[in-house]
Amino acid sequence: MSIKTISTSLRSAGMNTIIDIQGEINGLAEPELTRAYQEASASNTPTITLNFSAVDYINSTGIALIVALLAQARKEHKTLAVYGLSPHYREIFEITRLVDFMQVYEDEASALAV
Protein backbone atom coordinates (compact mmCIF):
# COMPACT_ATOMS: atom_id res chain seq x y z
CA MET A 1 0.00 0.00 0.00
CA SER A 2 1.44 3.36 -0.98
CA ILE A 3 1.03 6.40 1.20
CA LYS A 4 -0.19 9.45 -0.64
CA THR A 5 1.09 12.83 0.35
CA ILE A 6 -0.80 16.05 0.67
CA SER A 7 -0.15 19.29 -1.12
CA THR A 8 -1.73 22.68 -0.63
CA SER A 9 -1.85 25.98 -2.41
CA LEU A 10 -3.35 29.28 -1.32
CA ARG A 11 -5.23 31.93 -3.20
CA SER A 12 -7.23 35.02 -2.33
CA ALA A 13 -10.87 35.45 -3.27
CA GLY A 14 -12.41 38.61 -1.86
CA MET A 15 -12.70 38.28 1.91
CA ASN A 16 -11.54 34.64 1.76
CA THR A 17 -8.23 32.92 1.64
CA ILE A 18 -8.80 29.56 0.00
CA ILE A 19 -6.57 26.62 0.78
CA ASP A 20 -6.76 24.13 -2.09
CA ILE A 21 -5.91 20.68 -0.73
CA GLN A 22 -4.87 17.65 -2.79
CA GLY A 23 -4.25 14.11 -1.58
CA GLU A 24 -4.95 12.45 1.73
CA ILE A 25 -5.59 14.09 5.07
CA ASN A 26 -4.03 11.82 7.67
CA GLY A 27 -1.34 12.10 10.34
CA LEU A 28 1.30 12.81 7.71
CA ALA A 29 -0.66 15.89 6.57
CA GLU A 30 -0.20 17.82 9.81
CA PRO A 31 2.93 19.83 8.90
CA GLU A 32 1.57 20.86 5.49
CA LEU A 33 -1.92 21.72 6.76
CA THR A 34 -0.49 23.68 9.68
CA ARG A 35 1.86 25.61 7.39
CA ALA A 36 -0.93 26.41 4.93
CA TYR A 37 -3.29 27.50 7.71
CA GLN A 38 -0.64 29.77 9.27
CA GLU A 39 0.06 31.37 5.91
CA ALA A 40 -3.68 31.85 5.29
CA SER A 41 -4.17 33.28 8.77
CA ALA A 42 -1.38 35.80 8.20
CA SER A 43 -3.27 37.16 5.18
CA ASN A 44 -5.71 38.83 7.60
CA THR A 45 -8.82 37.81 5.67
CA PRO A 46 -11.73 37.04 8.02
CA THR A 47 -12.54 33.69 6.37
CA ILE A 48 -10.30 30.76 5.59
CA THR A 49 -11.92 28.30 3.22
CA LEU A 50 -10.69 24.73 2.75
CA ASN A 51 -11.25 23.28 -0.72
CA PHE A 52 -11.69 19.50 -0.41
CA SER A 53 -12.50 18.92 -4.10
CA ALA A 54 -9.21 17.07 -4.71
CA VAL A 55 -9.02 15.26 -1.36
CA ASP A 56 -8.98 11.49 -1.85
CA TYR A 57 -9.19 10.32 1.75
CA ILE A 58 -9.62 11.60 5.30
CA ASN A 59 -9.03 9.30 8.26
CA SER A 60 -9.81 9.89 11.94
CA THR A 61 -6.46 11.59 12.49
CA GLY A 62 -7.28 13.85 9.55
CA ILE A 63 -10.59 14.78 11.17
CA ALA A 64 -8.65 15.62 14.34
CA LEU A 65 -6.37 17.89 12.27
CA ILE A 66 -9.41 19.68 10.88
CA VAL A 67 -10.77 20.10 14.42
CA ALA A 68 -7.42 21.61 15.44
CA LEU A 69 -7.61 24.09 12.54
CA LEU A 70 -11.16 24.96 13.60
CA ALA A 71 -10.00 25.58 17.18
CA GLN A 72 -7.19 27.81 15.93
CA ALA A 73 -9.57 29.76 13.69
CA ARG A 74 -12.02 30.30 16.55
CA LYS A 75 -9.17 31.46 18.79
CA GLU A 76 -8.19 33.99 16.12
CA HIS A 77 -11.84 35.07 15.57
CA LYS A 78 -11.78 33.80 12.00
CA THR A 79 -14.43 31.84 10.16
CA LEU A 80 -13.45 28.43 8.81
CA ALA A 81 -15.45 27.23 5.83
CA VAL A 82 -15.19 24.18 3.60
CA TYR A 83 -16.45 23.09 0.22
CA GLY A 84 -16.02 20.21 -2.16
CA LEU A 85 -16.70 17.42 0.34
CA SER A 86 -17.84 14.14 -1.18
CA PRO A 87 -21.23 12.91 0.09
CA HIS A 88 -19.42 10.42 2.34
CA TYR A 89 -17.22 13.04 3.99
CA ARG A 90 -20.11 15.50 4.25
CA GLU A 91 -21.92 12.80 6.24
CA ILE A 92 -18.83 12.36 8.44
CA PHE A 93 -18.79 16.12 9.08
CA GLU A 94 -22.47 15.90 10.05
CA ILE A 95 -21.99 12.88 12.34
CA THR A 96 -19.04 14.53 14.09
CA ARG A 97 -21.02 17.79 14.26
CA LEU A 98 -18.27 19.76 12.54
CA VAL A 99 -21.08 21.33 10.48
CA ASP A 100 -22.27 23.00 13.69
CA PHE A 101 -19.01 24.96 13.96
CA MET A 102 -17.99 25.72 10.38
CA GLN A 103 -19.71 26.72 7.18
CA VAL A 104 -20.05 23.83 4.71
CA TYR A 105 -20.77 24.61 1.05
CA GLU A 106 -21.27 22.48 -2.04
CA ASP A 107 -18.86 24.39 -4.26
CA GLU A 108 -16.64 27.46 -4.48
CA ALA A 109 -19.33 29.67 -5.99
CA SER A 110 -21.63 28.96 -3.01
CA ALA A 111 -18.83 29.59 -0.52
CA LEU A 112 -17.91 32.92 -2.09
CA ALA A 113 -21.52 34.10 -2.52
CA VAL A 114 -21.88 34.69 1.20
- Where do the structural domains in the chain lie, given as residue ranges? 6-112
Whether the pLDDT of residue 1 is over 90: the answer is: no
- CA dist 1 and 92 (Å) reads 24
pTM of the entire structure? 0.94
pLDDT score at 5: 83
- Phi/psi of residue 29, nearest 5 degrees: -85, -15
pLDDT in tens, 18-41: 999 999 999 999 999 999 999 999
CA 25 to chain centre: 10
Is the predicted pLDDT of residue 90 greater than 70, yes or no?
A: yes
Averaged pLDDT, 31-52 = 96
The rounded distance, in Å, linking the Cα atoms of 39 and 106 is: 24
* Beta-strand runs (E) in 14-68: 16-25, 47-58
DSSP letter for 98, please: G
Give the homologous superfamily in CATH for domain 6-112: STAS domain (3.30.750.24)
Find out whether 84 and 55 touch, Cβ atoms under 8 Å.
yes
